[in-house]
Chains A and B, each alone.
Chain A
Amino acid sequence: MNINQIIYFIKHSLSNIRHSLLVNFVTISTISIAILIFSSFVMIIFNLTNLVSKFEDDVHIVAYLNDDFVSGYENIKKNILKLNGVNRVRYRSKEQALAIFKSSLGKNDRFLDDIPHNPLPASFEIRLENDFKSKAKLKGIASALKTMRIFDDISFGQEWIEHFHNFLNILKVIGTAIGAGFLFAAVFIISNTIKLTIYARRDEIEILKLVGATDGFIKAPFLIEGIIQGFLGAIISIAALYVLYLMFLAKIQALSFVGINSTNMPFLPPKFLALVLLFSVLLGMVGSAMSLGEIIKG
């Protein structure tokens, strides 16, 4: 293949598109919708995965001290630090706990004045090594703490993270199923568009064959047409996704308490966008290639 042939292929695939604008419009729209739905799911899953891994980084144990213990905190802290997997330990006294609680109440803290004594327990916030953040390991550390018989309660936030993981997995399955359905439809529509083009150009294909064109030479413009459809479909869907993303951010930022912004909920990174583009181009090629067997016949 030389540069003249490549120019010929591109010229003819563009002319194919120009000659059947409506059909190509429908095809490219279908690809855009398929890729938009697919990449929306990718973005949602990408952001939720990021979010959950941030929460996982934050996983720690809080051990609430029995009120009978009013001294010896340093020794307790040392003993906790000796446990396998413990990274850092911070003591929070009853007074500190109350102060934090008060500040979280804001203007409504007055009712605390009526309480005769501080009901909040002192606690140890226990930070763990990264390898010790799984549910099983957390449970191991918690039961080791229990054997010290000085804590009323031991809590760790792993439960709901596991629930969140399950939710994420369900979302992945749904996303994959819906995405696959639309992608299948897109491939089907592309292959039919190309079939229509092949049918419209059957005289030309016959003549090309008779004057000695190779199968590859005849097929190339149709493959390129599929690639162009895939490429344009991806560009349109990425642009639409970005617009939707900006609209979503604008809406959610208005609800200031949610605290979501473009930093903690970023758009798909360039690497993902490149993959979406590549995937869409492949989709166009596959859809087109599926119809090209027709050319060999006869």
Chain B
Amino acid sequence: MIQLYHVYKSYLKGVHVLEDVSLTVSRGEFAFLVGPSGAGKTTLLKLLFSAESFTDGQVIVNNYNLANIRHKNIPYLRRSIGVVFQDFKLLNNRSVFDNVAITLEILGAGKNDIRRRVTKALKQVGLQYLEDKYPLELSGGEQQRVAIARAVVNNPSILLADEPTGNLDPDLSVEIMNILNDINAMGTTVLVATHDKYLLGKFEKRTIMINKGRVSEPI
């Protein structure tokens, strides 16, 4: 559950990156956050897992009030959210398996548990046969899927994806969106930031428009 009330974000005084943003994404919903480059999509996503602070307003994510969340609680908020980053953020010196396992290692999961759940997540994104490879040995689409597997391996209640198809050709983009759709079908709230109009036509989902830091929804 994501709720924003009159949220403002500015880096310079008077210059708003986000301006009076109010929106709600309900539990189990799938929504696109759509807008041109520089519209504020990434900033908005970053607010939701406390990687950015906001200047004014209220943000509530999974019952955490981010306006006054304590530093020590931020890790627990993040554990309830899976994030697929635009630049993947994979560790090139770790295998695919180990990249996905990071999310479980921080929770103190046992070796067998990690093996079982990572294998399941890699299967979900169709990469189980690549678990011993390193990120630089993979294509862009495969790296993207590793990033998704890492984001979902801990069964988060929310999945945020920032331009998950940004660098991919249309066929691969559809493949990735199908994976996200499947994850949503299992009950995870999914919010995907994109500027890919082709996908919007192909997947009929709720669309939240963002432009120059202001949010609107087509009626």
C-alpha gap A86/B89 in the complex (Å): 84
Pair B83/A210 contact, Cβ less than 8 Å: yes
Q: Which residues of chain B come closer than 8 Å to A206, judged between CB atoms?
A: 89
Interface size on A, residues (CB 8 A): 18
User: Residue-by-residue, is B76-97 near A (CB-CB < 8 Å gives 1, otherwise 0)?
Assistant: 1111000101000101000000
CB within 8 A of B108: which of A2, A207, A215? A2
Q: Which residues of chain A come closer than 8 Å to B109, judged between CB atoms?
A: 4
Would you give the shortest CB distance from B190 to chain A, in whole angstroms? 18
C-alpha gap A214/B51 in the complex (Å): 14
| Residue on B nearest A203 in the bound complex, by CB | B91
Please tell me if A70 contacts chain B, counting CB pairs below 8 Å.
Answer: no
Would you give the shortest CB distance from B134 to chain A, in whole angstroms? 14
| Residue on B nearest A6 in the bound complex, by CB | B108
Pair B102/A208 contact, Cβ less than 8 Å: yes
Pair B106/A213 contact, Cβ less than 8 Å: yes
Q: Which residues of chain A come closer than 8 Å to B78, judged between CB atoms?
A: 209-212
| Residue on B nearest A7 in the bound complex, by CB | B111
Pair B108/A211 contact, Cβ less than 8 Å: no
Please tell me if A87 contacts chain B, counting CB pairs below 8 Å.
Answer: no
Please tell me if A1 contacts chain B, counting CB pairs below 8 Å.
Answer: yes
Q: Beyond A1-B108, A2-B108, A4-B110, is A212–B91 a contact (Cβ under 8 Å)?
A: no
Please tell me if B197 contacts chain A, counting CB pairs below 8 Å.
Answer: no
Q: Beyond A204-B91, A207-B91, is A212–B108 a contact (Cβ under 8 Å)?
A: no
Pair A212/B105 contact, Cβ less than 8 Å: no
**Total A-B residue contacts, Cβ distance less than 8 Å:** 52
Interface of chain B residues 56 through 81 with chain A (CB within 8 A): 71-72, 75-79
Which of B49, B51, B75, B77 has the most A CB atoms < 10 Å from its CB? B75
Pair B75/A5 contact, Cβ less than 8 Å: no
User: Residue-by-residue, is B88-132 near A (CB-CB < 8 Å gives 1, otherwise 0)?
Assistant: 010100000000001101101111000000000000000000000
Would you give the shortest CB distance from A7 to chain B, in whole angstroms? 8
Please tell me if A217 contacts chain B, counting CB pairs below 8 Å.
Answer: yes
Please tell me if B195 contacts chain A, counting CB pairs below 8 Å.
Answer: no
Q: Which residues of chain A come closer than 8 Å to B85, judged between CB atoms?
A: 210
Pair B108/A213 contact, Cβ less than 8 Å: no
Pair B91/A5 contact, Cβ less than 8 Å: no
Please tell me if B41 contacts chain A, counting CB pairs below 8 Å.
Answer: no
C-alpha gap A212/B108 in the complex (Å): 12
User: Residue-by-residue, is A202-234 near B (CB-CB < 8 Å gives 1, otherwise 0)?
Assistant: 011011111111110100000000000000000
Q: Which residues of chain A come closer than 8 Å to B75, judged between CB atoms?
A: 209, 212-215, 217
Pair A212/B89 contact, Cβ less than 8 Å: no
C-alpha gap A2/B104 in the complex (Å): 13
C-alpha gap A206/B89 in the complex (Å): 9
Pair B110/A212 contact, Cβ less than 8 Å: no
Q: Which residues of chain A come closer than 8 Å to B110, judged between CB atoms?
A: 4
Would you give the shortest CB distance from A199 to chain B, in whole angstroms? 15
| Residue on B nearest A296 in the bound complex, by CB | B71
Pair A207/B102 contact, Cβ less than 8 Å: yes
Please tell me if A8 contacts chain B, counting CB pairs below 8 Å.
Answer: yes
Which of B72, B83, B106 has the most A CB atoms < 10 Å from its CB? B106
C-alpha gap A139/B212 in the complex (Å): 95
Please tell me if B9 contacts chain A, counting CB pairs below 8 Å.
Answer: no
Would you give the shortest CB distance from A237 to chain B, in whole angstroms? 33
CB within 8 A of A208: which of B71, B77, B106, B111? B106
Q: Beyond A204-B91, A207-B89, is A217–B83 a contact (Cβ under 8 Å)?
A: no
C-alpha gap A294/B76 in the complex (Å): 21
Q: Which residues of chain A come closer than 8 Å to B77, judged between CB atoms?
A: 212
Pair A211/B111 contact, Cβ less than 8 Å: no
Q: Which residues of chain A come closer than 8 Å to B105, judged between CB atoms?
A: 4-5, 8
Q: Which residues of chain A come closer than 8 Å to B103, judged between CB atoms?
A: 211-212
Which of A208, A211, A215 has the most B CB atoms < 10 Å from its CB? A211
Q: Which residues of chain A come closer than 8 Å to B79, judged between CB atoms?
A: 211-212
B interface residues with partner A (beta carbon < 8 Å): 49, 51, 71-72, 75-79, 83, 85, 89, 91, 102-103, 105-106, 108-111, 150
14 residue pairs of the A-B complex, CB under 8 angstroms, read A4-B105, A203-B89, A209-B75, A210-B51, A210-B85, A211-B78, A211-B79, A211-B103, A211-B150, A212-B103, A214-B75, A214-B106, A215-B71, A217-B75
What 4 new A-B contacts, CB under 8 Å, besides A4-B111, A215-B72, A217-B75? A4-B105, A4-B110, A212-B106, A214-B106
A interface residues with partner B (beta carbon < 8 Å): 1-2, 4-5, 8, 203-204, 206-215, 217
Q: Which 8 A-B pairs have the closest CB atoms?
A: A212-B79, A212-B78, A213-B106, A5-B108, A2-B108, A212-B75, A214-B75, A4-B108
